[in-house]
Structure 1
Amino acid sequence: MKIKKLLTILVVVLMMVGINSCGKKETGPIKIGVLLPLTGHMANFGTMEKNSYEMAKDKINANGGINGRKLEFVYEDDTGKPDVGRAGAEKLINVNKVPMIAGGYSSSVTFAAAAVAQQYRVPFLVNTGSVDKITQPEAFNLTTNDGAKFYIYRMNPPVSEYASGLEGLLSQIVKPKSVFIIHENTAFGTKGAKSFAKTAKKLGIEVKGNHQYSAGTVDFKPLLLNAKKANPDMVYMISYVMDAAMLMKQARQIEFTTPKLFVGAGAGFTMPAFKENAGKASEDVVSATLWHQSLPIKGAKEYFDKYVEKFGKDHTPDYHGAEAYSAAQVVADVLKRCNGKYTPETIKKALDATNMMTVFGPVKFTSYGKKIHQNKMNTYVVQWINGNLKLIWPEDLANAKFVYPIDWAANWK
């Protein structure tokens, strides 16, 4: 009888423990990993993006968080190097145990980290890394029919589409007959140059040169002298911010004044640091861009103004900041639709169903060509006018008139 009584008590106790454990509700923060270059030569970009992630997170948490729980971002500094980015992704997954990673700036780093996320089947929401293969499953030994097995999602356009907004300006206004392409020998630079060469061919523009340089180059004069000798109507450059500034400064120094247009492929050419470091040589330079605060997108101007208010008028955000802020918006939206179960699989399912508006524009992951889980967006053209980055194309959305023709000799006096 005593044994039977003890067994009965034990069963009751175990049942009560089970009930209590089932009723226990998680109340701590939901942690999501973010991979960015916070030190090294790409730190300007990483800092802007981290600031934007934090701004978005603070607003999300102030408005109730994720169904009552706080959102927290766990950052890993990839330093702009693929091997460091790969290790950072592994740490976020295996040590920090995050169910999702966001971020990814450099294309080379992002692709390396994407391979890790794919290996561990952890969703990776890319907000900047742009080399096309990031959302091409064949690069991960899968096919376009393997969406259920593919864990990489990208908000921003691939580099092959960066110049799409530029085509109208070139074909309708500038009408250049020739171009000289200069690019860094990275995945982003090489693929971007190849894509623009195709664009030039489509528009009937002769490519008089397609020259690469190594990261860390200081003296661009030999390359620019070759470009000057080729006498192109247009110079198209794919560079990060310090290289972009030095290219234009040294173009001014060698009096390379004959092109109708100097054009950047986004990246470094839209950053405040470009204007600060290039000085007079930045004036009237044109660039492709993925976003501008004057676009009729809900929240875009508010984000821009609040960023300037918080970090100062010398630190205005460009499309990189908007990408990061919007990635945080997508993360919050996805988590809220996970019904309290924050696992890689529930998050992946929510990402598949994402269809929302952010300060960067609409986000919906779709498939086209060789890509899957790729957001499709428009691109635009900006120009540095009187020290400010203005939207000049398409004309119906412009907040400033395109300065053209340009007298570079007069600009650079």
Structure 2
Amino acid sequence: MIRVRTTVVRALVVAVLIVPALAPGARAAEDEIRIGSVWGLTGPTAGTSQEGRRGMELAQDLINKKGVLGRKIRVIFEDDKADPAVGVSATEKLITQDKVHAFVGGYGSTVCNAMLGAFQKYTPRPLAVLTGCGATTIEQRFGKEPGYLFVHPWEYYYQTTVRDFLASLSPRPQSVFIAHEDRLYGTSHAKMAEEYLKEAGFKVVAKESFKSGSPDLTALLTRAKSMNPDVFYWIAYGADAVLVTKQGKELNFAPRMYASTVALGTQEYRDAVGTDNAEAMVGVTVWEPISTFPASRAWPDLFPSTRDWVREYTARYKREPHYFAVMGYVALVATAKAIEAAGGTDREKMALALERLDTMSPMGPLRFTPSKFAKNHAFKQMFIFQWQKGEKVLVFPKDVATGALRHPFPAWSPR
């Protein structure tokens, strides 16, 4: 009996000695709120993805000045390399190994679609505040799923904005050549663009696909030049925008307008092609640093006015933010505030708190409302910008325009 008691006492002593040694690490993991974030940090989507990452890192640092329910936020970034298979592996690692409490961010509909497909294997499915899912295919497939909240405008907001912009021009362009990357993002957008443009009376002379990240688009651009369209409209990523610009110049392909989507708006694009070559290029945007939204009344420290937020971002990174920077920032702050309101990381309570958000943010009014097929969707506004003398100028809609459109596209030869 004495031996048994002695053994038990020794075991308890050992346990008492071991527990303090293990506890700090265990407590550290328990004391942090882990957020998974998958972006194409290398590859063709790197420029825009790095903008999103910078915005989230800024949000993380500002949130952690006060913490969330006495805990710190830790964002675990993973690089999907713009490859859906890599994105799925990163997603599963974040769920099974890192045991994240939520997903925030992301760029690229092809990867986003694959990531949400991977979510379906898990019960409960992760809560996600998604910045990079713009394809209507995703909206139709996953939009009703509770706990999935979509921040980025859907593609029909893009394409109706492009259609209305082209229709507003005088003289009105007649013909459009559509080029698009060949995965979900480009294919889905191009299909909708063609539909809306034709309905509005524009002649779509061709709709051609190409592989994003291709080293040479000469053949496609040569075919487009031979058709002499009024508008060359391409739907792709940042590296593709650089190649189209450089090779378009080499071929002296000068339609009345070059127009593209969001990747055209990054500082990396302007720096890669040069200010002169970016001149008069037209793109679509959700937000620009010249926006004038006021601070949130509820959380002015984390949701300051656009002007103050841009000043903070620019001071830290020595560059102006792309809209994916502010979108990543807003998405992470919204998630942190939802965790506070929920009193913890319970998925259903967090989702409900996000659905109840109604505040001003540096990106504009933040409120999740239904879209065509999704239960919770935030930003729906889109604008047209143009590069002019190295700066972006809003040219459409007219009520927000900060300058006049330079049209038609100037000749390449003097540049």
TM-score grouping bracket, smaller chain normalisation: 0.7 to 0.9
Q: With the length of structure 1 as denominator, give the TM-score of the two structures.
A: 0.85
- Among 50, 58, 73, the alignment partner of 2:75 is 73
> 4+ runs of 1 displaced by more than 6 Å?
none
- Match for residue 300 of structure 1? 306
**Partners of 1:164 and 1:387 in 2: CA distance:** 27
SS at match of 1:371: coil
| Alignment of 1:260 onto 2:256 | yes
2:101 matched to 1:95? no
Aligned to 1:7: none
Equivalent of 1:333, from 326, 332, 337?
337
Structure 2 residue ranges without an equivalent (≥5): 1-26, 295-304
Q: Match of 2:14? A: none
Instruction: Give deviations 1:75-106, integer Å, cap 9, x for gaps.
Output: 22222211111121112122111221111212
Instruction: Please list the CA deviations of residues 192-212 of structure 1 after superposition, one character each: whole Å capped at 9, or x if unmatched.
Output: 111111221132110001011
**Structure 1 pair 117/360, CA: closer, same or farther in 2 (3 Å)?**
farther
Asked if 2 retains the 8 angstrom alpha-carbon contact of 1:37 and 1:77, the reply is yes
Measured after TM superposition, the shift of residue 118 of structure 1 is: 3.7
Cross-structure match for 2:265: 270
Q: Deviations over 1:191-248 (max 9, x none)?
A: 1111111221132110001011112322212111111111111111112111111111
Q: Secondary structure at the match of 2:375?
A: strand
CA contact (8 A) 2:154 2:380 kept: no
- Shift of residue 124 of structure 1? 1.2
Letter in 2 for 1:87: S
Matched, 1:135 2:130: no
User: Within 2, Cα distance between the matches of 1:217 and 1:379?
Assistant: 28
What residue is the counterpart of 1:58 in the other structure?
Answer: 61
Percent of aligned pairs with the same amino acid: 27
CA distance change for structure 1 residues 380 and 84 in 2, over 3 Å: closer, same or farther?
same
Counterpart residue type for residue 32 of structure 1: I
- Cα distance in 2 between the residues matched to 1:75 and 1:308: 22
Tell me if 1:156 matches 2:152: yes
Q: Which residue of 2 aligns with 1:349?
A: 352
Deviates more, 1:113-122 or 1:224-233: 113-122
1:381 counterpart SS class: strand
Cα distance between partner residues in 2 of 1:93 and 1:357: 31
Aligned with 1:408 (options 406, 411, 415): 411
Distance apart, 1:294 and its partner CA: 1.3
Shift of 1:369: 2.6
Given that 2:342 and 2:349 are in contact with CA atoms closer than 8 Å, whether structure 1 keeps it comes out as yes
RMSD: 2.2
Equivalences for 1:191-270 in 2 at 5 Å? 191-257=188-254, 259-266=255-262, 268-270=263-265
Q: Distance in 1 between matches of 2:96 and 2:48?
A: 26
Partner in structure 2 of residue 86 of structure 1: 88
In 2, are the aligned partners of 1:55 and 1:325 still within 8 Å (CA)?
yes
2: CA distance, partners of 1:252 / 1:265: 19
Amino acid at match of 1:84: V
Amino acid at match of 1:359: P
**1:148-195: per-residue Cα shift (whole Å, max 9, x none)?**
x53321111112321333333311224111100011112111111111
In 2: Cα distance, 1:152 partner to 1:89 partner: 15
Counterpart-to-counterpart distance in 2, 1:366 and 1:253: 46
Q: 1:44 aligns with which of 38, 47, 59?
A: 47
TM-score (ref. length: structure 2): 0.85
Local SS of the residue matching 2:208: strand
1:182 pairs, out of 153, 169, 179, with 179
Structure 1, 206-215 or 364-373: larger mean CA deviation: 364-373
AA in 2 matched with 1:270: G
Offset of residue 27 of structure 1: 8.0
Residue 45 of structure 1 aligns with an amino acid whose one-letter code is T
Residue 376 of structure 1 and its aligned partner are, at CA, apart by 4.4
Aligned length: 375
Equivalent-residue separation in structure 2 for 1:31 and 1:163 (angstroms): 36
